[in-house]
Structure 1
């Protein structure tokens, strides 16, 4: 059974650290809602909020051929084009405009989404209406590098949420066999993408929803090896935890693992996946630095499941090692309670 659409929305908003925006961008979800419809609803509702507030504008540099002189005169280009006798010049000048990167990405996403196969007809109509409200803004060929160029501040931070939505739509939209028509791929079927989402969700959930541990982070752990040849260390793989929770006296290392096929621990002959256990065990041993919290650090392997919860507990010296599962098909309140219980 797939993860409910509403829970996918929760996972994303935690992973993006955009819970406040989630409450503002209300999205009604039912069992019939497809993933592409969910993102269309989010983008439509979020764009309507943006338009009510007024879209962002900024100064943009233009270089153009004009009558007279404006801004900075581009002498060489003007002379090469033989424009002076026409009383025209090539100048670089700035203009206060809404045709900025944020708006171009948003409009281009509305455009591609409105031409996506399988999208609800009423949602398509809404997307077409919204596109007409972005006059003076140009379509753009989106690529991933553009999202890193977006500049946010206190006044336009709501764009951050919309750009997260645009990016996930872009990353999961492909051209179809019909020219000008797109198709949306279900990223929940991609184990690699879902593993990244699951990990980011768990980490940000603990950053936001608990105050027992003041530090919540990825942690780089150095191998407890000695070698006379220091250059040999470059061949050793990097150890980095998914989530480390820490305060003055306690420490927990969580390794979050997402598996698509069973959505639970793989109970074959090996029972728990051996590589997962080896990795967690290595983290615990190599992070020890003689302080009480590192010598008593707890390790947790956390898996999603939609069938049955597992709570397995083992001990190695002073380290507790736990195997936990979380049911992503359950009510969100139960998911939240389960995650809090794991770190008690």
Structure 2
């Protein structure tokens, strides 16, 4: 994974589809019709989707959990805290300090959603209709405590079978928490343009491609893989780790895919365009170490770039390894992007080395 592509040509709706795959919720890209939408930015599009999802959540009912409560009460329930009760002379008031559990919807899951809706309501470029929807929706969160929206809180949320329907909503909330920044003291927030952050877009591109193939080929076990250098020496800990972006097996053929997020996939050298040598060396190192690990079985190597200024698809046989250097146009219709990614793995293409 590398970064420096111009992302200005990628439609907002295509960024959303990539996010849906990267979050491992590709079905959400099909359930919500965003074709024909022309939102001003990804935050407005995600606001629309979040409103639809939270509206459905309200109809279903908020998820509740038992949470510990400590209080001074005249009604004895749960565990009596004698030490606190005597230290604070609660017994003189006919009360005791107690500890018990309360079944409540005022939990972190719902608090984060409320905090996100509040943050969006302060976004200065939010469409008016979404602002009005948020105001009405917040009325259902009156019993939910208000917390500060911090990305670290999302790591504290526990998701399981009974609350899996919160996962996609919280993915959207986390994205918003990381990209809609509150102006101190102004009561307004602005969008930190995610699409112009090349490192974030490079990670998104890698995770999108990985989860796309994982969904299209469930048996492939598409994943990042650590390869061994096979080095012998006293200071092997100084060697860098060798991680593939994507390793997978489809129809008994292993593929190693390295995603590169560059404005120009090809490099201009002495008046002509050539493949970037560093990328080719890196892919060859993956293939050679994988061959040694698998006792001679050879993977197909793919360098995959987003198309910006040129499209290309090259096939080579290099040192006995089949390598492909390809681009995918992220500005195309989404169905064309899907067909392109599927076609890259076609066996007919793999046999057509000379084209």
Change over 3 Å in CA distance of 1:71–1:115 after alignment to 2: same
Query: 1:244 offset after TM fit, Å?
Result: 0.6
CA distance in 2, matches of 1:327, 1:11: 13
Alignment partner of 1:243 is 2:246: yes
Structure 2: segments with no counterpart, 5+ residues: 1-7, 347-355
Alignment partner of 1:37 is 2:39: no
CA contact (8 A) 2:255 2:299 kept: yes
Q: Greater CA deviation, 29-38 or 11-20?
A: 29-38
Q: Which has the higher contact order (CA 8 A, sep 6+)?
A: 2
TM-score w.r.t. structure 2 length?
A: 0.89
Match of 1:4 among 1, 11, 14: 11
Change over 3 Å in CA distance of 1:37–1:290 after alignment to 2: closer
Q: Greater CA deviation, 88-97 or 44-53?
A: 88-97
For these two proteins, the number of residue pairs brought into alignment is 336
CA distance in 1, matches of 2:78, 2:186: 42
For residues 224-243 of structure 1, the aligned pairs below 5 Å read: 224-227=230-233, 229=234, 232-243=235-246
CA distance in 1, matches of 2:226, 2:148: 37
For residues 165-202 of structure 1, what are the alpha-carbon distances to aligned partners after superposition, in whole Å with 9 as ceiling and x for unaligned? 00000011212254332111111100110111100100
Residue 320 (structure 1) aligns with: 322
For residues 265-344 of structure 1, the aligned pairs below 5 Å read: 265-269=265-269, 271-289=274-292, 291=294, 295-344=297-346
CA contact (8 A) 1:27 1:41 kept: no
CA contact (8 A) 1:210 1:340 kept: no
CA distance in 2, matches of 1:72, 1:175: 42
For residues 153-302 of structure 1, the aligned pairs below 5 Å read: 153-210=160-217, 214-227=220-233, 229=234, 232-247=235-250, 249-259=252-262, 262=263, 264-269=264-269, 271-289=274-292, 291=294, 295-302=297-304
Residue 4 (structure 2) aligns with: none
CA distance in 1, matches of 2:301, 2:229: 17
Match of 1:23 among 30, 34, 43: 30
CA distance in 2, matches of 1:28, 1:291: 45
Query: 1:272 offset after TM fit, Å?
Result: 3.1
Query: 1:215 offset after TM fit, Å?
Result: 2.7
CA contact (8 A) 1:174 1:184 kept: yes
Q: Greater CA deviation, 16-25 or 83-92?
A: 16-25
Query: Partner of 2:275: helix, strand, or coil?
Result: coil
CA distance in 2, matches of 1:339, 1:182: 37
TM-score w.r.t. structure 1 length?
A: 0.91
Change over 3 Å in CA distance of 1:138–1:180 after alignment to 2: same
